[in-house]
Amino acid sequence: MGTKFAMNRRNFIRSASVAILAPAIIDSASAAPADVSFQLSWIKSAQYGGYFSGIEHGIFKQNDISPTFNSGGPNIDPIANVASGQYDLGDRPVGSILIARDKGIPVKIIGTVFAKSPFCIMSLAAKPIRSIKDLEGKTIAVPTSTRPVVLYLLKSAGVDPASVKFLPGSPDPAALASGQIDALPGYSTNQGVMLQTRGVELFMLNVQDLGVPETTGTIYAREDYLAKNPDKVIRFLRAASQAWRFALDHPEDTAKLMVDKYGASGLDYTAQLAEVKASKPFIEAGPHGEAGILELDMSVYERIIDIYHQAGIIGSKMKLDDLCDPKFVDAALKSQ
């Protein structure tokens, strides 16, 4: 009975928040185009195809938004750039945002592209890692940021971490293909697609299917920016949701745009097309499927906070409302 009451109360609060923001939605049609700067967490490629489809096909312009997207990469700290005010919004895997919030950085999650993360443990189909227990005696390349989650998975499965050989540094997909390592944590839509389009047959063990939920392409902003710019944020999220819908419905067009115009140099069309197609089920994995692109599933974030506590990754007594503010994306989706 208590759980039911809590959920009803949360739904009431979210509905009330949407109602409060409704005047901003109504006025947006006559608003002047607003600049929004966005710090990407990685280089410009198909994983951001929806945003650039939105620019190319005038979807942001129709919503009176003029966005710019700054490329990320290994030497860029996206959260620091947003926290400092250099950029208005950014995207990261949820874990990075959660850790930043735990350290007192005043950012909040307001939407997510990948409602279910394609993060997985990849292995060769000829030597598949079908369960976490199969990692015993194997070699896995794990970057520092991913190690706590992998250790949590091992301990939850009753596997002694000492029985697994960890290689540090950024995982190299080629090391898996050549047999130098047995397992590679990464994204099935990115490193997985890269290997598969080169003829490497893989077995992929999705981490969320193992009980560790994660979102990626998760959109965040500073609290003060959200408080001062609710209309702008709603319009951006509404346009972004529409743009991602268009991109997923037109994968060939999206891949071509990234290769020919918006993406980093050297992108391969076949791989970019495969990435867009592979991303679709993960992006549409939210509570309302294809109709709710960017929507936040609050039950998922509750579980993520709980797991990060259990794993000792965060130490503060963080609450769901400390991490997420869903009213902006709720208002954006309601106004489509």
Which residue is it, tokens 């208590």? 2
Q: Is the pLDDT reported for residue 290 higher than 60? A: yes
pLDDT tens digits, 145-195: 788 889 999 999 999 999 999 998 666 788 999 999 999 999 999 999 999
Q: Look at residue 148 in the predicted model and tell me its pLDDT.
A: 86
User: Quick count: other Cβ atoms within 10 Å of Cβ 91?
Assistant: 27
Collect all residues with Cβ–Cβ distance below 8 Å to 32 and sequence separation of at least 6: 64
User: Dihedral of CA 324/326/327/331: which sign?
Assistant: positive
Architecture of domain 119-210: 3-Layer(aba) Sandwich (3.40)
Same fold, 2-117+214-334 and 119-210: yes
Tell me what percent of the residues of the chain surpass a pLDDT of 70: 90
User: Dihedral of CA 76/82/86/91: which sign?
Assistant: positive
Domain boundaries, the chain: 2-117+214-334, 119-210
What average pLDDT is seen over the chain? 90
Residue count of the chain: 336
d(CA 186, CA 5): 39
Q: Taking Cα atoms as reference points, which of 65, 56, 59 lies closest to residue 32? A: 65
pLDDT tens digits, 226-276: 999 999 999 999 999 999 999 999 999 999 999 999 999 999 999 999 999
Token representation of residue 271:
């791989």
* CATH number, span 2-117+214-334: 3.40.190.10
Q: Look at residue 323 in the predicted model and tell me its pLDDT.
A: 97
